[in-house]
Chain A
Amino acid sequence: MNLDHSILSIITFVPLVGAVLLALLPDRGKLMQWGALAVTLITFAITLHLPVHYNYAAASGAFQFATDNPWIATPAIRYHLGVDGLSMWLIVLTGFLAPLGVLISWRTVSERKKLFYTLFLLQQVAMLGIFVSLDLFLYYAFWELSLVPMTILIATFGRTENRRSAAIKFFLYAFIPSAVMLVGILWLYVNTGTFDMPQLAQLAATHGISGNSAALWLASLSFLIAFAVKVPVFPLHGWLSDAISEAPTAAVMVLAGKLGLYSILRFSFGIFPEQSRHIAPLMIALGAIGIVYGALLALVQKDLKRLAAYGTLGHVSLVILGIFTFTIAGLDGGIYQTLNEGIGGGALFMLLGILYERYSTYDMREYGGLAAKLPWMVTLFVITTLSVVGLPMLNGFVGEFLVFSGTMQSTIAHHVGWTVLATTGVILTAAYMLLMIQKVFYSNLGLKPRSVTGWDLDVREHLALWPMIALMLLMGIASPYWMQSIDTVGTYLANQIGSPDLTAPKTITRLPGSSFPMRPYQEGGQR
């Protein structure tokens, strides 16, 4: 049997087997931690099979490692799995983050460990399932599954009494639009007779999805809204700061961003290319506004986790901006930035969690002067900050630059205006991140550090953080390694949906919307 056809099933269900095993084992000593670590490490190791055996020269839009078996005859539901350059790295990233999540929860989760790690693994199953599923019904099952463990994790392991309401808020926000999306999925099935994603995309590309345009529009909106809430896109982010504020670190690391962003790229763009193109001006606007809005609100937070939550809003908005420009640069940068958000954002939340473990507060005003006490902590914090603010040679810059550059090239909407607005994000992001560093690490010892003895990073925390730091550097310097497969997807989508002549060299002309007029030049003359 060729491993390539079953590898995706193995990746998806190894954590499930692990979850069942953990549920059966007694919750004794550190058994749960070690068990979860072993399962997640094995899963990660298997995910590495994908980039190693991926055919980078394959035609764009083709799925690899595919399995396609009939599952239920009527309605026609298939067990169809497959990956392309978009989902492959997201799967590897999911595999990569999981053991780090276990390491970072090692000590902080001390009660009901069995519940915690079982749910944690189930959450991973759901995420992996979302990334590998090419059948809409199967995909939807994983999509809904992803809500449950997360909701229980927040409700059970949240840090304040507010956890239950935060969990309910998270659930309602995610569930209601998802239920509507199910309507959209069923409508598609009624009109096309298939749940199969590649077939649907094929039909869409050839204008073969029957049904009137209003209904098609509604169906596309049912998808987009469900995804946009999950991302979240401004102004649908109402659940984000509460959920992030409550959720345990390991859950926060996978809370926002990639699930929703992936789903937009795969399903909204794949099945509804025309509608996506038409709604792009709105999404570009929301993306650009979201960047500035998130950064500005982060600037006035006192709570470190809420600050990072609004920062997250800004970063996922950057991806939204990029992918909806339908330029190659915007799409490539957006997809790259989706990975970066998982790494930079994940590392930031890990570091904040480590601080909380020592000083049991997220209130910035109670910190101060830690740089002298925790030299490793401050070093890794600063590197993470630099990744988040997009310093060149670190991963964040590559994605950010491509997104903005793509926005400027886009023929959709008022590209100059939105680029200018969005680019102010680079100033504001630096402002709130450096403010956080200053409040936590510089100046004299703050209230908490004076009364509580902290300690610098221990071995386990080093083990959890350094892989992140290494990736920030590698993805900042050697981006082509990741970009080559991402670029096939970005180019494919840009050619399918965006204007086809983007790569053609442009003649220099008066900039549309520019107030700088062309001036006839006279030798040595100045006006």
Chain B
Amino acid sequence: MPSSYLWLIPLLPFTGFLINGTLGRKLPRAAVTAIALLFTAVPAAIVAWLWVTMKAVGAPDSISINAGPWITITGFHVDFAFTVDHLTLIMLGVVTGVGFLIHLYSAGYMAHEEGYWRFFAYLNLFMFFMSVLVLAESFLLLFVGWEGVGLASYLLIGFYFKKDSAANAGKKAFIVNRIGDFGFLLAMFLIVAHFGSLDFAHVFNAISVNPDWHGGVLTAIALLLVVGAAGKSAQIPLYVWLPDAMEGPTPVSALIHAATMVTAGIYMVARCHTIFDRSPYALGVVAIIGAATAIFAACIGIVQHDIKRVLAYSTVSQLGYMFLACGVGAYTAGIFHLLTHAFFKALLFLAAGSVIHALSGEQDMRKMGGLWRKIPITFWTMTMGVFAIAGIPPLAGFFSKDEILYQAFISPNPIGKLLWAVGLITAGMTSFYMFRLWFKTFFGESRVEETHASHGHDDHASHGNGGVHESPWIMLFALVILAILSVIGGWVGVPTAMFGHNEIEHFLAPVFESGASAQAATAAASQGLELTLAALSVLTALAGLGLAYTFYYKKPGTAATLAQRAPALYRLVENKFYVDEIYSAVIITPLLMFTRLILGGLVDSGLVNGSGALAGATTRGLSTLTRRVQSGNIRSYAGWLALGAAAVLIVMIFGRFWAH
């Protein structure tokens, strides 16, 4: 029975977590590595095998297993139940495949770190929860994974917990995600109240068989789910935690904060498409949030100097694209971009990690430059990633991004054309800031040596190449695989207009076939329009490349001059539009002030304790009185009881009066 193997996908990484978490401190590093790799490699193999089984002709569209109840009360129950359909399969492939590569890479990257065992234990814990998230057959079990990956993220962002910035970033990530969870939870409460169940099959089926259900509660549920998705997938207004999350080790940024966890929101929206399809209003909100986030984050990404922060804002921006895709009902395009993004963004982060590794921890692009000869493999693999994300055909990013733009253009959404335009401009900006990163890091004059010398790291200079060294093979191996995937990964979705077969659309058709609006829109499509739009986006990407070439290679001073011409605007963008500061001033500080002054000062010390003190004083006054009468120890228990009994008698008499 093949389905019982499904349990191994989450349980093996969990075993790895338990072993490394409890014994890891005492095990040698090689053993820790072996355990962590083994318990992620086997699930990846199982997923590959599942893939083959389920792609076979005549195979069922989904496999389900149920291990009994988790919560059971009268009228409501939730089971430990998993389902694998084609959507889950794609997610599982990304999670276990990319996850395994990043485990490999980490073995090299983290080799010299303190708390090596802890790192791998957390990483395996993440794999466990992420597998649960995508395998879950109910909202509540999905929420288990949802919260669990948040926990793993919290632990890994705060991995260097001695650094205040890392501890703060971890806490911020958890709390901001909790704001999203607040929405997710409310959505689930509404679902329970109206459907009496949290099983996907039950809820979606109930909606499917009632074609007249639209808007109303479904809109409320969908919007609350969007709050949750916006938290996890770092969309406006909850994106603020993701850039800070770069405090974690770079492999973590690649795995959790680029390829897998942050896409959970998109997965969830796609999974719940039955609900969203019935609420054009909620879909519109998703599309607008996505487009706004895409262009907003791209703006900030243009002026960042930290190589990881550029990639972080780029991630936020790309997640915006996926949101946009879901918002125009093009779930397949969203998942397609999720897939290609997982490849090239994981690659970009890992390559950036390799650069940082080469420079002994330097992340500021102003202190890089001219590195392409010194770390050639890192350079070439990263180049693949940059070209892929910039949308240069025929690399992966081109096909998926183009599909989203095309779907936005032809969507029945009244502002579909505007959404497309925003997406196109963002594509140009993406190309620009990625090539900016590329030129600043790898080309021009090296700014490495002098800064290292000035920082007193001149011992590195004796190693030749200014102390810059290529990463070990175990890291490069992961880079090369991901680079290949970044090149060819998009070929599963080549549209028919470009003589492809759009295999991913057929693959996902059983999951999304009820996406009525998207289907209708596709019917209205024309091949000529699709090719025209594709040409436009290629031109935009090339324009971004050209601009970056001029600014950062040919005339390196241009950017600085431009920045000087509009200093206020530049400072506004460089400081990320002061969003963190605004949140702090408008929400956090007033809330804490209110709590300290009104709740703590007035209510708690005044009313609550004051009335207590008053009652106490009254009784003490009474007791003084009674002490004179009784001359006994009034605090003694017996005395009180006597007083109570006296009161009892009085009231009993009155009680008699009331009664008659």
Contact = CB atoms under 8 A, between A and B. Distances in A.
Interface of A: 144, 148, 168-169, 172-173, 175-176, 178-180, 182-183, 186-187, 190-191, 210-212, 214-215, 235-239, 293, 296-297, 299-300, 328-329, 332, 369, 371-372, 375, 386, 391-393, 398, 401-402, 404-405, 407-409, 419-420, 423-424, 426-427, 430-431, 434-435, 438, 441-444, 477, 479-480, 483-484, 487, 490-491, 502-503, 505-506, 508-511, 514, 516-521, 523-527
Chain B CB within 10 Å, residue with most, of A180, A427, A431, A477: A427
A409 B616 contact: no
B280 A408 contact: no
Contacts of A408: 186, 189-190, 192-193
A297 B186 contact: no
Given A483-B72, A526-B414, A443 B161 contact: yes
B175 A510 contact: no
Contact of A375 (B25, B216, B223): B25
B182 A480 contact: no
Given A300-B600, A508-B216, A175 B608 contact: no
B454 interface: no
B185 to A, nearest CB: 6
Contacts of B218: 508
Interface in B265-285: 278, 280-281, 283-284
A238 B608 contact: yes
Nearest to A298: B595
Contacts of B280: 519, 521, 525-527
23 contacts: A148-B637, A175-B640, A238-B608, A293-B599, A371-B161, A372-B162, A391-B148, A392-B148, A393-B144, A404-B189, A409-B192, A419-B186, A479-B70, A479-B71, A480-B69, A510-B216, A511-B220, A516-B217, A516-B223, A518-B215, A523-B520, A525-B412, A526-B414
Given A408-B193, A442-B167, A526-B280, A187 B72 contact: no
Interface string B143-172: 110011001001000100111100110010
Nearest to A148: B637
Given A173-B615, A372-B162, A490-B74, 10 more contacts: A173-B612, A329-B192, A427-B182, A434-B154, A442-B164, A483-B73, A502-B75, A519-B215, A524-B412, A525-B280
B28 to A, nearest CB: 18
A238 B606 CA distance: 10
Interface in B571-619: 591-592, 595-596, 599-600, 603-604, 607-609, 611-613, 615-616, 619
A104 B174 CA distance: 31
A426 B640 contact: no
A503 B192 CA distance: 11
Interface string B643-660: 111011001100110110
B619 A409 contact: no
B20 to A, nearest CB: 13
A183 B619 contact: no
Nearest to B660: A212
A354 B368 CA distance: 49
Contact of A434 (B143, B174, B223): B174
Contacts of A480: 69-72
Interface of B: 25, 69-76, 140, 143-144, 147-148, 151, 154, 158, 161-164, 167-168, 171, 174-175, 178-179, 181-182, 185-186, 188-190, 192-194, 196, 210, 213-220, 223, 278, 280-281, 283-284, 412-414, 516-517, 520-521, 591-592, 595-596, 599-600, 603-604, 607-609, 611-613, 615-616, 619, 635, 637, 640-641, 643-645, 647-648, 651-652, 655-656, 658-659
B74 A503 contact: yes
Given A183-B652, A332-B73, A442 B162 contact: yes
A521 B278 contact: yes
Nearest to A505: B196
A441 to B, nearest CB: 7
Contact of A238 (B284, B596, B609, B658): B609
A426 B72 contact: no
B330 to A, nearest CB: 13
A157 B210 CA distance: 65
A514 B74 CA distance: 27
Chain A CB within 10 Å, residue with most, of B74, B181, B185: B74
A215 B161 contact: no
Contact of A516 (B192, B215, B641): B215
Contact of B612 (A169, A299, A520): A169
A401 B198 CA distance: 12
